[in-house]
């Protein structure tokens, strides 16, 4: 590595450095705040230097973890890992820089920066480890850090901020008196929901280990012990990978475990950016991509059966995993569409972005699943896989951009609901421009980064639809296209409500909606000036927050220049930049690529034009698109309740907890304890009976004997007359009797 | 088995016993200082255990033995530490010392302190002896020695309202288990004519044809040990006892004493009665899975702070029982390693709960909240302990849990030719139970330490150094074993692989 430094420094700097954060805090507040940024900056430089070393030598043993089990820690230097590491470390670095200003006035920053840095370290551990178990450790470190960070403001005592048009939940689990309670609940929810996936994933990893005998990805790829054939022949291949994929579902928020991510917005904005752009949710995509690559290689190699009990193996190729990838693609497609529709009605700024993240993650999974299905049908997987990686990169950049920019908005306005914002384009010009760049990239408008990656995903689903005999391919394609239409709609809605239209004053007071609606156009201006006297206008944040934004915006614009390089790295090809660039553009304009491109453009128009008309052109007018009642209101409510999935889970959980509580109170405390008491009572009762028996029968018997014998003796006493003559008489009688007996026995008589 | 020159382990036990006796005899003069004296005595015994630990860990011999013949009839009484006894002995010694330190802070306001500390030292001695005993009778004596002082500790210093019946319950449950053990030991003696464990192990292969008899002995012994571990149908004594005992004793009860049952199950069940254990493997595993879910679900809905942790102990013992029941080298090694990790993590959690009770005088988690600002060290320690129990890496709970689960999956595919689907179901269930663990542990953290604090708790302060320092030490140990599990596994795994009946 750079300067001949050991590779493990990339992980140890952030993970070990996180422990230094509280120490640094003892000396200087400012030094503490910058510690994560500086350490991650070093890590970032080291990660970038890995780009030069891809493939030679692929793994590096750094240290022996558990000697008896032969578990080593190895760094994996293949294209996927390095690209992910570069992405993660760069975004983490930018976000940490941003946090120095964003968090500057919060308390307890020791904890915050400690968790932030450890979070980045966990992601790097995951992507760079060649050992599946250690990768899982990185995976879980992220889970823990996300728990701590989402619930960071756990001690806030103010009541929760209420939306203008709030959903009222009846479930007792969803009632929160204070914001602190709510935040803690969100962190806990994130941890528990992802843990559901993780637990099964651990099971899958361990089953896989039983067959491969190794946790090393590179050894798995050589088909160690012929695991591919063995597992396929006993039908465990797909179930095992589905278990592992459950972990990815949990972490990447795929359906049906998507419920935690929208609530994960309770934390500070830089945390949201970290979770969504750089780490955590990308982990699931990474691990799926990693297994796609490993499985393709393992299925392709013969492997040594290594004296395994199963000696005769039939040839099993990659098609054995077809149904696994169908599941991946379907879950990805469903997630992409479902969460995009939820995003169309949300009123919480960051929550809209969270839904959009879910939807984009769905695209990535869809691309990976498509790649797997293509491979199983003897078509190439690598371009679909590449488009997924490209989308990870471009989404990482523009989503970090969007979150950090919206963090500035929330910071300035002190509300998280877009329904209380409006007209910010006059006050936050820079943020406004940057936000537009991010939104256009998210919506997939050329030439911004999101377009290139998302459109190529749609293109490969189209290819799948055309070439695959299964009609499922068409369904996936339709899902992808519809999701694109929804995406542009909610993107424009977000921009329109936040930045256009009349300004609202709720950023400094909690007035009700009515007063706004009665306000006429003329009053708005004076109202604004009135505010200037007491409060500063919302304004763009300072340089530590803006510079990361500029960098991300620049990348988002020129991403298409960079993508050919990434393609060369990921596919390990050596085409020239111009060739790839030419190919990238031409594929959209010639047959057969032009068909999906045209369909996508049509979908963008379907979503974009209403979005533009309703929320941007008519931003100044009152929005009456959703009537109070009727079909559209019902749809709106359905989406607003997030398809009722979340509430359904809470309903089940509540019932379940009630049942457990009932069991505790009625059975565990009463009956089992009661059995103890009853048995004690009956033991007492039995003892009482035994005592009666003892007293009356046993004792009576013994006493009876003794009484009788005493009485007998007393009676016998009378024989003792004390008169010598009596005694002599008796003796004489006795002797006489003896003499007679003696004579009889001697036969005399 | 060669004897070493200086009997460190025996002297360590003697120090604890005589120290306890001295504190009791001089209780009049040691009213205030008895805690510190007990810390000194306990530390001395800890130091005396270091050479044997060192020999087991570093030297290739793998085992330390000290023994003497007491009576020709009863055979040799010995103290033997190998890779199997090492984890539990280590846990008892370290946790014993730390709990004594903790008790100094905790018993500030208690009455009759010298007697308390004398009993605590006897209790620790009993546990330490149980883990080292080599003779059936010796084991049984130590087993009872462990019970008697803990009975008195609960009876005199337990929760005032219920201590009498709790102590009685504790006594009756564990004593009825001990009766089963005694019968089992009697049968073993009847068959082999020896009380010495290693003579018995060498003789038992001759009785392999009488599998039913071995199974009967196994079931009798297991019944006794499972009562100690508080496994599902006979778990009921544990929650009230652990919740209502004085906290330093809860630390020992939950952290160490119930684990001696798991250790004894390995020593007598798997090592001694291997064929019977293999035969009953599935049922042991099934009991383990039921226990882990039952304990976990009950922990989810408890109101009493210590009872929540007590049910979590039930659940964790379910994990250990499941792992031991699989009789694979990964499973048993993971189960034994988990004894250390559970001892430290649960000990730490009970310490935090005790500190909270001591500082707030509350036991109901619904009345607490937001203590992380008031008691930052305690809160951080609780987070470490809870995450370790929830098997979150890089803490030590994960390091052993994955091995336990892997043991389960190994048993599915490597046991007999072909697959054993019932073990697959068990293993998947066991893995999924870690969701419940995460749930109740996060609930503990949430209810006690997070959220805004109620107004009534405005004045709460961090507890004294005597209580926080043991917590910090345990926290560091948990992290250390999490990052470097090899420290213990390098000893445990060779020890486990030496067991003949185990599946590799």
Per residue in A187-231, pLDDT (tens digit) is 999 999 999 999 999 999 999 998 888 888 888 888 777 888 888
Burial class, B456, CB count within 10 angstroms (exposed 0-12 / middle 13-18 / buried 19+): exposed
CB pairs under 8 A between A and B: 126
Sign of CA dihedral A222, A228, A231, A234: negative
Burial class, A586, CB count within 10 angstroms (exposed 0-12 / middle 13-18 / buried 19+): exposed
- For position B263, what pLDDT does the model report? 93
Largest Cα–Cα separation, chain A: 160
**Which tokens sit at B281?**
């493997």
- For position A532, what pLDDT does the model report? 40
pLDDT confidence band for A749 (50 / 70 / 90):
low
Cβ contacts of A137 on chain B, cutoff 8 Å: 393-394, 398
Count of beta carbons in the 10 Å neighbourhood of residue A724: 8
Taking the Cβ of residue B485 and every Cβ of chain A, the question of whether any pair is shorter than 8 Å is answered with yes
Contact at CB, A661 and B490, closer than 8 angstroms = no
Closest CA to B195 of B265, B269, B275, B138: B138
Sign of CA dihedral A741, A743, A744, A749: negative
Looking up tokens 């080292």 gives B132
- For position A302, what pLDDT does the model report? 61
pLDDT confidence band for A58 (50 / 70 / 90):
low
Per-chain mean pLDDT for chain A: 84
Cβ contacts of B405 on chain A, cutoff 8 Å: 202-203, 206
Cβ contacts of A664 on chain B, cutoff 8 Å: 298, 301-302
- Return d(Cα A376, Cα A380) in angstroms, integer: 9
Contact at CB, A203 and B405, closer than 8 angstroms = yes
Contact at CB, B450 and A155, closer than 8 angstroms = yes
Closest CA to A363 of A429, A283, A458: A458
Measured in angstroms, the CA of A191 and the nearest CA of chain B are apart by 8
Kindly list the distances between the CA atom of residue A530 and the CA atoms of A500, A533, B466, in Å, as whole numbers in the listed order: 20, 6, 59
Contact in structure between B56 and B83 (CB atoms under 8 Å): yes
Interface test mutation site (partner B, options A179, A184, A236, A656, max chain B beta carbons within 10 A): A184
Share of chain A above pLDDT 90, in %: 29
Give the DSSP per-residue string, B419-482: --HHHHHHHHHHHHHHHHHHHHHHHHHHHHHSSPPPGGGTT-----HHHHHHHHHHHHHHHHHH
Which of residues A680 and A259 earns the better pLDDT score? A259
**Which tokens sit at A712?**
């007998």
- For position A686, what pLDDT does the model report? 87
Cβ contacts of A155 on chain B, cutoff 8 Å: 370, 372-373, 450-453
Share of chain A above pLDDT 70, in %: 92
Q: Which of A156, A206, A661 sits opposite B409 (nearest CB)?
A: A206
Taking the Cβ of residue A234 and every Cβ of chain B, the question of whether any pair is shorter than 8 Å is answered with yes
Contacts of B447 (CB under 8 A, 6+ apart): B365, B366, B368, B369
- For position A241, what pLDDT does the model report? 93
Strand locations in B423-492 (E)? none
Sign of CA dihedral A598, A600, A602, A605: negative
- Return d(Cα A128, Cα A84) in angstroms, integer: 8
**Which tokens sit at A78?**
């293949």
- Return d(Cα A615, Cα B217) in angstroms, integer: 79
Contact in structure between B171 and B158 (CB atoms under 8 Å): no
CA atoms within 13 A on the CB side of A647: 15
- For position B1, what pLDDT does the model report? 45
Q: Per-block average pLDDT, block size 10, for chain B (504 residues)? A: 69 92 88 88 93 84 79 83 90 94 88 89 93 90 90 88 85 89 90 85 82 89 91 86 90 91 91 86 92 92 91 94 90 92 94 92 88 89 93 88 91 73 90 92 91 85 89 93 87 84 70
Contact in structure between B300 and A657 (CB atoms under 8 Å): yes
**Which tokens sit at A369?**
């699943």
User: Residue A153 carries which DSSP code?
Assistant: T
Contact at CB, B405 and A191, closer than 8 angstroms = no
Burial class, B144, CB count within 10 angstroms (exposed 0-12 / middle 13-18 / buried 19+): middle
Contact at CB, B302 and A664, closer than 8 angstroms = yes
| 163-202 of A, contacting B, C-beta below 8 A | 178, 180-181, 184-185, 188, 191-192, 195-196, 199-200, 202
Contacts of B9 (CB under 8 A, 6+ apart): B48, B49, B52, B64, B66, B79, B81, B132
Task: Determine the 3-state secondary structure of A417 from DSSP.
Answer: strand
Report yes or no for ipTM above 0.95: no
Taking the Cβ of residue B454 and every Cβ of chain A, the question of whether any pair is shorter than 8 Å is answered with no
Measured in angstroms, the CA of A473 and the nearest CA of chain B are apart by 33
Which of residues A396 and A725 earns the better pLDDT score? A396
Largest Cα–Cα separation, chain B: 70
Interface test mutation site (partner A, options B235, B304, B386, B431, max chain A beta carbons within 10 A): B431
Q: Which of B301, B393, B428 sits opposite A203 (nearest CB)?
A: B428
Per residue in B124-161, pLDDT (tens digit) is 999 999 999 988 899 999 999 889 999 999 888 888 88
Kindly list the distances between the CA atom of residue B279 and the CA atoms of B216, B267, B273, B275, in Å, as whole numbers in the listed order: 12, 17, 10, 6
- For position A56, what pLDDT does the model report? 65
Strand locations in A606-674 (E)? none
Taking the Cβ of residue B443 and every Cβ of chain A, the question of whether any pair is shorter than 8 Å is answered with yes
User: Residue B169 carries which DSSP code?
Assistant: H
- For position A94, what pLDDT does the model report? 92
- For position A315, what pLDDT does the model report? 65
Closest CA to B105 of B358, B389, B393: B358
Taking the Cβ of residue B417 and every Cβ of chain A, the question of whether any pair is shorter than 8 Å is answered with yes
Contacts of B29 (CB under 8 A, 6+ apart): none
**Which tokens sit at B207?**
């009785």
CA atoms within 13 A on the CB side of B414: 21
- Return d(Cα B135, Cα B124) in angstroms, integer: 19
Contact at CB, B442 and A69, closer than 8 angstroms = no
Which neighbouring-strand residues pair with B380? none
Contact in structure between A255 and A334 (CB atoms under 8 Å): yes
Contacts of A471 (CB under 8 A, 6+ apart): none
CA atoms within 13 A on the CB side of A192: 22
Taking the Cβ of residue B128 and every Cβ of chain A, the question of whether any pair is shorter than 8 Å is answered with no
Contacts of A195 (CB under 8 A, 6+ apart): A143, A250, B390, B434, B435, B438
Contacts of B420 (CB under 8 A, 6+ apart): B411, B412, B413
Contact at CB, A154 and B370, closer than 8 angstroms = yes
Give the ranges where A252-321 is alpha helix by DSSP (H): 260-263, 269-273, 281-300
A477 pLDDT exceeds 50? yes
Contact in structure between A416 and A507 (CB atoms under 8 Å): no
Taking the Cβ of residue A67 and every Cβ of chain B, the question of whether any pair is shorter than 8 Å is answered with yes
Q: Which of A185, A199, A309 sits opposite B435 (nearest CB)?
A: A199
Cβ contacts of B494 on chain A, cutoff 8 Å: 68
The angle formed by the CA atoms of residues B49, B53 and B58, to the nearest 5 degrees, is: 150
Which of residues A564 and A672 earns the better pLDDT score? A564
Average pLDDT over residues A625-649: 86
A472 pLDDT exceeds 70? yes
Q: Is beta strand A71-76 parallel, antiparallel or unpaired with respect to A59-66?
A: antiparallel
Contact at CB, A206 and B486, closer than 8 angstroms = no
Closest CA to A333 of A527, A477, A170, A521: A477
The angle formed by the CA atoms of residues B341, B347 and B349, to the nearest 5 degrees, is: 105
- Return d(Cα A282, Cα A368) in angstroms, integer: 13
- Return d(Cα B31, Cα B115) in angstroms, integer: 9
Taking the Cβ of residue B405 and every Cβ of chain A, the question of whether any pair is shorter than 8 Å is answered with yes
Measured in angstroms, the CA of A140 and the nearest CA of chain B are apart by 6
pLDDT confidence band for A60 (50 / 70 / 90):
low
- Return d(Cα B303, Cα B311) in angstroms, integer: 11
- Return d(Cα B430, Cα A206) in angstroms, integer: 13
- Return d(Cα A40, Cα A10) in angstroms, integer: 9
Cβ contacts of B236 on chain A, cutoff 8 Å: 672-673, 676
User: Residue A470 carries which DSSP code?
Assistant: S
- Phi, psi of A500, rounded to the nearest 5 degrees: -100, -175
Contact in structure between A537 and A431 (CB atoms under 8 Å): no
Cβ contacts of B435 on chain A, cutoff 8 Å: 192, 195-196, 199
A307 pLDDT exceeds 50? no
Contacts of A563 (CB under 8 A, 6+ apart): A390, A449, A452, A453, A580, A584
Which chain A residue has the Cα nearest residue B419? A234
- Return d(Cα A14, Cα A116) in angstroms, integer: 9
Contact at CB, B450 and A156, closer than 8 angstroms = no
Taking the Cβ of residue B337 and every Cβ of chain A, the question of whether any pair is shorter than 8 Å is answered with no
**A79-88, A269-278, A298-307, A564-573: least confident range:** A298-307
For residue B395, what is the enclosing H or E element?
none
Q: Please give the distance of CA A328 from its chain centroid, rounded to a whole number.
A: 17
Contact at CB, B301 and A660, closer than 8 angstroms = yes
Measured in angstroms, the CA of B300 and the nearest CA of chain A are apart by 8
**Which tokens sit at A265?**
């917005």
Per residue in A3-31, pLDDT (tens digit) is 777 888 888 899 988 888 888 888 888 88
Q: Please give the distance of CA A674 from its chain centroid, rounded to a whole number.
A: 43
Contact at CB, B409 and A199, closer than 8 angstroms = no
User: Residue B237 carries which DSSP code?
Assistant: T
Taking the Cβ of residue B51 and every Cβ of chain A, the question of whether any pair is shorter than 8 Å is answered with no
What is the 3-class SS of A345-403, one letter each residue?
CCCEHHHHHHHHHHHHHHHHHHHHHHHHHHHHCCCCCHHHHHHHHHHHHHHHHHHHHHH
Looking up tokens 């109740």 gives B440
């Amino acid at each position: 590595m750079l300067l001949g430094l050991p590779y493990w420094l990339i992980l140890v700097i952030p993970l070990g450095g996180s422990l230094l954060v509280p120490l640094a805090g003892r000396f200087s507040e400012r030094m503490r705040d910058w510690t994560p940024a500086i350490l991650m900056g070093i890590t970032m430089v080291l990660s970038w230097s890995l780009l030069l070393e891809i493939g030679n030598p692929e793994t590096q043993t750094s240290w022996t973890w558990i000697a008896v089990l032969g578990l080593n820690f190895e760094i994996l230097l293949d294209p996927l890992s390095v690209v992910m590491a570069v992405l993660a470390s760069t975004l983490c670095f930018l976000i940490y820089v941003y946090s120095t200003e964003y968090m500057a006035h919060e308390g307890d920053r020791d904890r915050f920066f400690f968790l932030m840095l450890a979070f980045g370290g966990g992601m790097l551990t995951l992507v760079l480890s060649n050992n599946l178990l250690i990768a899982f450790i990185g995976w879980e470190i992220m889970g823990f850090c996300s728990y701590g960070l989402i619930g960071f403001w756990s001690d806030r005592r103010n009541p929760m901020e209420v939306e203008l048009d709030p959903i009222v939940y009846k479930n007792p689990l969803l009632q929160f008196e204070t914001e602190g309670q709510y935040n803690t609940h969100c962190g806990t929810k994130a941890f528990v929901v992802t843990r559901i996936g993780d637990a099964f994933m651990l099971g899958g990893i361990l089953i896989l280990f039983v067959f491969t005998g190794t946790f090393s990805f590179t050894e798995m790829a050589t088909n160690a012990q012929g695991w591919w054939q063995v597992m396929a022949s006993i039908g465990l291949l797909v179930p095992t990978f589905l278990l592992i994929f459950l972990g990815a579902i949990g972490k990447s928020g795929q359906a049906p475990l998507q419920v935690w991510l929208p609530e994960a917005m309770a934390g500070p904005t830089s945390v949201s950016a970290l979770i969504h752009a750089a780490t955590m949710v990308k982990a699931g995509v990474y691990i799926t991509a990693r297994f796609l690559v490993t499985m393709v290689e393992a299925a392709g190699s013969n492997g040594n059966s290594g004296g395994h009990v199963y000696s005769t193996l039939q040839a099993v190729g990659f098609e054995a995993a077809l149904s696994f990838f169908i599941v991946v693609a379907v879950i990805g497609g469903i997630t992409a569409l479902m969460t995009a529709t939820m995003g169309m009605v949300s009123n919480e700024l960051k929550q809209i972005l969270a839904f959009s993240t879910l939807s984009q993650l769905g695209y990535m999974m869809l691309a990976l699943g498509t790649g797997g299905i293509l491979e199983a049908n003897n078509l190439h997987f690598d371009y679909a896989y590449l488009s997924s990686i490209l989308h990870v990169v471009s989404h990482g950049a523009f989503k970090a951009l969007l979150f950090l920019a919206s963090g500035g908005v929330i910071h300035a306005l002190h509300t998280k609901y877009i329904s209380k914002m409006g007209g910010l384009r006059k006050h936050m010009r820079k943020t406004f421009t940057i936000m537009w760049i991010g939104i256009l990239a998210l919506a997939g408008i050329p030439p911004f980064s999101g377009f290139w990656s998302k459109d190529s995903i749609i293109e490969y689903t189209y290819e799948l639809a055309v070439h695959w005999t299964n009609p499922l391919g068409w369904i996936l394609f339709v899902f992808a296209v519809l999701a694109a239409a929804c995406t542009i709609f909610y993107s424009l809605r977000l921009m329109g409500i936040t930045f256009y239209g009349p300004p609202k004053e709720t950023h400094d007071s909690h007035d009700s909606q009515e007063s706004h609606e009665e306000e006429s156009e003329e009053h708005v201006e004076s109202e604004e000036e009135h505010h200037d006297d007491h409060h500063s206008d919302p304004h763009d944040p300072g340089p530590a927050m803006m510079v990361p934004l500029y960098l991300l915006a620049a990348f988002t614009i020129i991403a298409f220049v960079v993508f050919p390089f990434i393609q060369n790295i990921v596919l390990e090809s050596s085409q020239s930049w111009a060739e790839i660039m030419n190919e990238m553009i031409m594929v959209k304009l010639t047959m057969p690529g032009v068909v999906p491109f045209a369909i996508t453009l049509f979908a963008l128009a379907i979503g974009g034009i209403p979005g533009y008309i309703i929320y941007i052109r008519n931003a100044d007018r009152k929005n009456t698109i959703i009537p109070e009642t009727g079909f559209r209101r019902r749809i709106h409510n359905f989406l607003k309740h997030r398809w009722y999935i979340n509430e359904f889970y809470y309903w089940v959980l509540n019932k379940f907890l009630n049942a457990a509580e009932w069991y505790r109170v009625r059975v565990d405390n009463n009956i089992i304890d009661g059995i103890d008491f009853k048995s004690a009572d009956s033991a007492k009762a039995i003892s009482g009976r035994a005592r009666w028996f003892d007293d009356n029968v046993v004792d009576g018997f013994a006493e009876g004997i003794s009484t009788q014998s005493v009485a007998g003796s007393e009676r016998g006493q009378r024989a003792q007359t004390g008169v010598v003559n009596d005694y002599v008489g008796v003796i004489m009688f006795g002797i006489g009797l003896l003499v007679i007996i003696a004579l009889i026995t001697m036969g005399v008589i | 088995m060669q004897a070493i020159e200086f009997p460190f382990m025996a002297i360590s036990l003697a120090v604890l016993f005589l120290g306890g006796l001295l504190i009791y005899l001089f209780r009049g003069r040691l009213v205030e200082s008895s805690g510190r004296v007990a810390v000194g005595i306990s530390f001395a015994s800890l130091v005396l255990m270091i050479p044997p630990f060192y020999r087991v860990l570093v030297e290739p011999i793998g085992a330390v033995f000290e023994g003497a013949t007491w009576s020709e009839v009863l055979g040799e009484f010995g103290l033997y530490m190998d890779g199997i006894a090492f984890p539990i002995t280590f846990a008892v010694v370290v946790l014993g010392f730390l709990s004594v330190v903790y008790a100094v802070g905790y018993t500030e306001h208690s009455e009759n302190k010298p007697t308390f500390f004398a009993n605590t030292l006897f209790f620790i001695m009993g546990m330490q002896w149980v883990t080292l005993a080599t003779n059936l009778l010796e084991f049984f004596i130590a087993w009872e020695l462990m019970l008697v002082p803990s009975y008195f500790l609960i009876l005199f210093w337990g929760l005032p309202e219920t201590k009498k019946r709790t102590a009685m319950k504790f006594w009756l449950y564990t004593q009825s288990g001990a009766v089963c053990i005694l019968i089992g030991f009697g049968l073993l003696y009847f068959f082999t004519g020896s009380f010495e464990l290693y003579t018995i192990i060498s003789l038992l292969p001759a009785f392999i044809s009488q599998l039913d008899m071995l199974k009967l002995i196994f079931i009798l012994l297991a019944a006794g040990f499972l009562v100690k571990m508080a496994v599902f149908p006979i778990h009921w004594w544990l929650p009230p006892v652990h919740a209502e005992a004085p906290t330093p004793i809860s630390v020992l009860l939950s952290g160490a004493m119930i684990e001696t049952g798991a250790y004894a199950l390995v020593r007598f069940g798997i090592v001694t009665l291997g064929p019977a254990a293999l035969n009953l493997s599935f049922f042991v595993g099934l009991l383990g899975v039921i226990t882990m879910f039952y304990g976990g679900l009950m922990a989810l809905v408890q109101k009493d702070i210590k009872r929540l942790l007590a049910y979590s102990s039930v659940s964790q013992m379910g994990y250990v029982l499941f792992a031991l029941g699989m009789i694979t080298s990964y499973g048993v090694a993971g189960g034994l390693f988990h004894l250390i990790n559970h001892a430290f993590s649960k000990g730490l959690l009970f310490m935090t709960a005790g500190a909270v009770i001591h500082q707030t005088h509350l036991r109901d988690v619904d009345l607490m909240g937001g203590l992380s600002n008031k008691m930052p060290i305690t809160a951080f320690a609780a987070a470490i302990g809870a995450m370790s129990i929830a098997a979150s890496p890089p803490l030590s709970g994960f390091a052993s849990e994955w091995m336990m689960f892997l043991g389960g999956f190994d048993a599915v595919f490597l046991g007999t030719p072909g697959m054993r689907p019932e073990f697959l179901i068990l293993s998947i269930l066991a893995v999924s139970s870690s969701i419940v663990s995460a749930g109740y542990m996060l609930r503990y953290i949430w209810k006690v330490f997070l959220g805004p604090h109620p107004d009534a708790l405005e004045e709460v302060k961090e507890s004294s150094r005597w209580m926080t320092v043991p917590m910090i030490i345990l926290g560091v140990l948990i992290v250390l074993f999490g990052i470097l599990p090899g420290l213990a596994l390098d000893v445990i795994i060779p020890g486990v692989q030496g067991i003949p009946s185990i599946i590799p």
